[in-house]
Amino acid sequence: MFFIFGLVDCFVLVIAVEPHSKIKGNVESLLELTPWNWKHLNTSIKVDSPITVDVALTSHYKLTGKHLHKFFKLRTQTDCASILKAIPNTKERDGVYTIYPDMKTRKLVYCDMTTDGGGWTVILNRMDGSVDFYRSWQTYKEGFGKADGEYWLGNEDIHLLTTRTKNELRIDLQKFSGEKAYAKYSNFSIGSDSEKYKIAIAGYSGNAGDSLSDNNGLKFSTKDQDNDAMVKSCAVVHQGAWWFGACSRSNLNGLYQKSAVKWTWKGDVESLLKLTPWNWKHLNTSIKVDSPITVDVALTSHYKLTGKHLNKFFKLQTQTDCASILKAIPNTKERDGVYTIYPDMKTRKLVYCDMTTDGGGWTVILNRINGSVDFYRSWQTYKEGFGKADGEYWLGNEDIHLLTTRTKNELRIDLQKFSGEKAYAKYSNFSIGSESEKYTIAIGRYSGNAGDSLSDNNGLKFSTKDQDNDSMVKSCAAVHQGAWWFGACSRSNLNGLYQKSAVKWTWKDSVESLLMKSSWTWKHLNSSFKVESPVTVDVTLTSHYRLTGKHLNKILRLKKQKDCASILKTIPNTKGRDGVYTIYPDMKTKKLVYCDMTTDGGGWTVILNRMDGSVDFYRSWQTYKEGFGKADGEYWLGNEDIHLLTSKTKNELRVDLQRFSGEKPYAKYSKFSVGSESEKYKLTVGGYSGNAGNSLSYHNGMKFSTKDQDNDTLDKSCAVEHQAGGWFFDCFNNNLNGLYHKSAVKTWNGVIWYHVTVSLKSARMMIRTSV
């Protein structure tokens, strides 16, 4: 909790608000949400908020008893540990607090009250690159940034906090891949300004590796005050500020990269050479070194590598692939990055080498990560290759041919779902033919856990949009807007269009091509008919096909299913195939919905989906009645349809949540229904189970409210207060239709489930007819 406080006459006002939220609305409404004793007064008071703004509270309340004591305790705390000790119920309530490092001047800091017992004062926070950390000595002395985002506390305050008592330091790191690691030091302090904020550090433990103990005793350096031991300024070279030695094994104040970028050979050459284990000598003559990593570096200040290290350089110049680099230079193991290879032993090519996975030495021939590169290219472009080796790219068919024809090669395909799950497929043999052979693929024995989606392509020729070598009447490359070894338009297409989310295959593009891919029996006719797709769109088969036998029956059965559970029951092979389907809640009017056919047995009709904040949920009564958004993104199904789906049969409700930290709790209710519009879509819910906490039963029996129709039990409109529509009791316990925040904010106004305590990354409500 945070506390807003001030003194007027003889009484104190203390109001608990969630961190990061704006104080607004009716104060009395907020106090009604707390368990506190309070009393309305006629006098007026101005409250100086310890959070982000000064707030004049014009309605006057008085807290009584123990809450008054808490206020006095909080005013004298020097750090987060002392706040936690003074107010034990702040445990696990991370957020922005006010401390007094010098016992006089207040400072806003982020307190981690959860990790490793809590009570940690955050002195540095990096998370998104929104704040520039290439600052002056004075700025680092005073601190910069905001406590609810990226910031540096300030060297003077860090000095004050660490000199009076013994302190420990914890550093929490997260890779872009999601892996987390930490380093902990049992002793940490920094000196005064006159001592150049010299660091004292010792007693490492953790799993991130010790990258700070070597900095013990070093002075702090910034771009305008160079206190390191190097000729050049490490702060300038690395565009940051730190306790630099030989330009450092760590630099948490450095430039923020938007992806996992390895350190590359650039900048000041002498500084870089000092970091290596190589023997080198300064000469007056000039030499050009062809870097094995990312760029060619002309050593214009003239250095000479000597002995065995020079041999390593010459070895690297003649390596055909990443495996040969790893063999020639064993200490490249586990050093993934961009290297130079020579597929034809003459012409250099930059590639990404995976030196870690499955023993390392893998030459990456295709990399897809974010859709930044267009893969719908010509034959010539696929022959030569395109993209950049540190991002999305295709190595080039000619180079892949050269790499795979001289020696036996294996192929590994690493995949990652948007949900984070990873899988791989490995083939014992892989090669492609020459251009005259249309780069025909030869593929060997499969192993792995991703499923074999490539063996059927064995012996097929490569196709692009301008050279169709598949066996279909239509061009699969054109249909799928990619390039591949296509058979019947393929079971795999890693060069296809990049989607920003996990999109299922849909009924569109060429109908004949799709029918050829299916197991269905079909026949080409001259007559026409319209098929209503159960997936994402209605498709008119304008080139006239007829499905025969049992498959025709499936389509007819699907046309009149009222929800996802009945679709799954009618067509069992939809199990595990999540996606957008067509349902008929009133058995007349069609409605597109997202069906979860996987979770907890499948058959769930999604009635609410929140995932990215792309849709505004502060809507009118009529809009909530009809529904809004799109079924493949954020949406509300519509109160009228939810009523139709839940009023005739017994239904259960499942609420799936995801924190920004990645945890996924859920709540399940054995009973769920919504009344008619004349009943104000009254909620009936009960029978909780799950691990997210029961934040919905509290709202049982409540009517639905929107900004233009207030049906809650308070004098004020909770829908207006929280800018959402929902079943409100006293304005809070959950609010999954609330404002979307881009991070885990403690707030009343957000996508909130009371027992989770912070705003959520995603939330989904889905219903299913009870068995």
Asked if pLDDT for residue 529 goes beyond 70, the answer is no
Beta bridge partners of 579: 595
Asked if pLDDT for residue 275 goes beyond 50, the answer is no
User: Nearest 5°: CA angle at 49, between 46 and 51?
Assistant: 170
Write down the pLDDT at residue 417: 79
The pLDDT tens digits for 192-227 are: 999 999 999 999 999 988 888 888 998 998 999 989
Asked if pLDDT for residue 522 goes beyond 80, the answer is no
Confidence band of 246 (pLDDT split at 50, 70, 90): low
Q: Report the distance separating Cα 625 and Cα 653, nearest Å.
A: 19
Q: Report the distance separating Cα 244 and Cα 87, nearest Å.
A: 38
DSSP of 508-553, one letter per residue? Answer: -S-HHHHHHHSS--EEE-SS--EE--SSSS-EE-TT-EEE-THHHH
Asked if pLDDT for residue 186 goes beyond 90, the answer is yes
Q: Report the distance separating Cα 420 and Cα 416, nearest Å.
A: 6
The pLDDT tens digits for 646-673 are: 998 999 999 999 999 999 999 999 999 9
CB 367 within 8 A of CB 352: yes
Confidence band of 304 (pLDDT split at 50, 70, 90): very low
Least Cα distance to 152 among 176, 171, 133, 174 occurs for 133
Q: Report the distance separating Cα 456 and Cα 714, nearest Å.
A: 65
| Total residues found in the chain within this entry | 771
Phi, psi for residue 17 in degrees, rounded to 5: -130, 160
Q: Report the distance separating Cα 312 and Cα 614, nearest Å.
A: 53
For the ranges 165-174, 211-220, 509-518, the lowest mean pLDDT is seen at 509-518
Write down the pLDDT at residue 215: 85
- pTM for the predicted model, two decimal places: 0.36
Give the C-alpha distances (Å, rounded to integers) separating 210 from 170, 181, 182, 184, 579: 12, 11, 10, 9, 46
Query: E strands along 100-230, which residues?
Result: 107-112, 120-121, 124-125, 144-145, 151-152, 169-174, 180-190, 199-206
User: Nearest 5°: CA angle at 736, between 732 and 741?
Assistant: 100
Least Cα distance to 14 among 515, 25, 687, 30 occurs for 30
Write down the pLDDT at residue 565: 94
The Cβ-side half-sphere exposure at 765, using a 13 Å CA radius, reads 22
Asked if pLDDT for residue 294 goes beyond 70, the answer is no
Q: What is the mean pLDDT of the chain?
A: 76
CATH 3.90.215.10 residue window(s) in the chain: 365-498, 560-769
CATH number for region 560-769: 3.90.215.10
Write down the pLDDT at residue 770: 84
**Look-up of token digits 């068995």:** 771
The pLDDT tens digits for 681-719 are: 999 999 999 999 998 988 899 999 999 999 988 888 888
CB 195 within 8 A of CB 207: no
> How many other C-beta atoms lie within 10 A of the C-beta of residue 762?
17
Strand, coil or helix: 194: coil
Write down the pLDDT at residue 90: 82
CB 46 within 8 A of CB 56: yes
CB 162 within 8 A of CB 148: no
Phi, psi for residue 571 in degrees, rounded to 5: -120, 85
Write down the pLDDT at residue 566: 92
* CATH top-level class of 365-498: alpha beta
Write down the pLDDT at residue 208: 82
Write down the pLDDT at residue 684: 96
The pLDDT tens digits for 719-762 are: 898 889 999 877 767 889 989 999 988 877 888 888 887 889 99
The pLDDT tens digits for 605-649 are: 999 999 999 999 999 999 999 999 999 999 999 999 999 999 989
Beta bridge partners of 204: 185
Output the CA torsion sign for 253, 259, 265, 267. Answer: negative
Q: Report the distance separating Cα 755 and Cα 124, nearest Å.
A: 29
Host H or E run for residue 763? strand 762-769
Which whole number is the average pLDDT over 461-478?
84
Asked if pLDDT for residue 382 goes beyond 60, the answer is yes
- Which burial class, exposed, middle or buried, applies to 123 when counting CB atoms under 10 A from its CB (0-12, 13-18, 19+)? buried
For the ranges 75-79, 219-223, 554-558, 719-723, the lowest mean pLDDT is seen at 554-558
